Amino acid sequence: MPRTPTGGAGDGAAPSGTALMSIGAVLGRLRDEFPEVSISKIRFLEAEGLVEPCRTPSGYRKFSAEDVERLARVLRMQRDHYLPLKVIKGHLDALERGEDVPLPGSRRALPGPRSDAESGPPAAARIGREELLAAAGADAGALAEWEAYGLVAPTPDGGYGAESVTVAKLVSDLGRFGLEPRHLRAMKAAAERDAGLVEQVVAPLRLHRNPQTRAHAEATTRELSALCVELHAALLRTALGTDPH
């Protein structure tokens, strides 16, 4: 249940006296490190239980500094470690209980808050075949089947990028429920159709002579991709009758 601010009437103050922020102010705080984040993304993370902002009597969200830092950590773990939200929530909840929990597939504990010097974007990463198998908890036969169905594909140098790691982990997780790669062809086809829609929007921007416009095309691509993912998740919850609202 969302919390209710308990400061003075209409002053938006937290119990500790720390000022609370609107969702727009939170977006401004996060966008320096996460240019692709959007208000809909923050709302989606709230719906998934990753953050619980206060609500004013009129229903407006109010975020504390701790809420903003939690959101930043969620976004870092998605970006840097390719973890699904359910795993991220479990780890953050464990940390709040004072437990020292390692990341899946890593000997390191969860990262603490990053300093300004550490907050720049990470370099593009590639991992090898064995590392991918270890990250996904799968064997070579499973990877060969994923590649045969076009779910995972190596880069020209034979490595695997960040999204391949994400896909491999998700396909492996779905496999534990009896869903095989052949069952996932419809999802891949739907993703390709969504990609086609995004390309229709950004293609004219990419062809523009202005470098700033071309850069805007990449930011627009990320934004549209995130919105498509959020829409798919919302439609799926609605279809299954599990919409939290």
N- to C-terminal Cα separation, the chain? 12
Domains and CATH numbers, the chain: 1-85 (1.10.1660.10), 123-179 (no CATH), 184-245 (no CATH)
Q: Contact, 232 vs 187, CB < 8 A?
A: no
Q: Which residue has the tokens 């997780």?
A: 173
Q: Are 202 and 117 in contact, with CB atoms under 8 Å apart?
A: no
pLDDT band at 9 (very low <50, low <70, confident <90, very high): very low
Residue 67 in this model has a pLDDT that exceeds 90: yes
pLDDT at 115 over 60: no
Query: Greater confidence, 18 or 120?
Result: 18
pLDDT band at residue 109 under the 50/70/90 scheme:
very low
Greater confidence, 3 or 88?
Answer: 88
At residue 7, the pLDDT reads 47
For 120-155, letters b (16+ CB in 10 Å) and e give eeeeeebbeeeebbebbebeeebbebbeeeebbebe
Based on DSSP, count helices (H) and strands (E) in the chain, helices before strands: 9, 2
What would the mean pLDDT of 123-130 be, rounded to a whole number? Answer: 70
Q: What is the mean pLDDT of the chain?
A: 80
pLDDT digits (tens, 9 = 90+) for 133-152: 888 888 999 999 999 999 99
Percent of the chain with pLDDT over 70: 81
CB–CB of 95/105 below 8 Å?
Answer: no
pLDDT confidence of residue 122: 40
pLDDT digit string, tens, across residues 26-63: 999 998 888 888 888 898 889 888 999 998 888 889 99
* Angstrom distance (rounded) from CA 61 to CA 194: 31
Average pLDDT over residues 87-108: 73
Return the pLDDT at 158.
83
What pLDDT, on a 0 to 100 scale, did the predictor assign at position 54?
A: 92
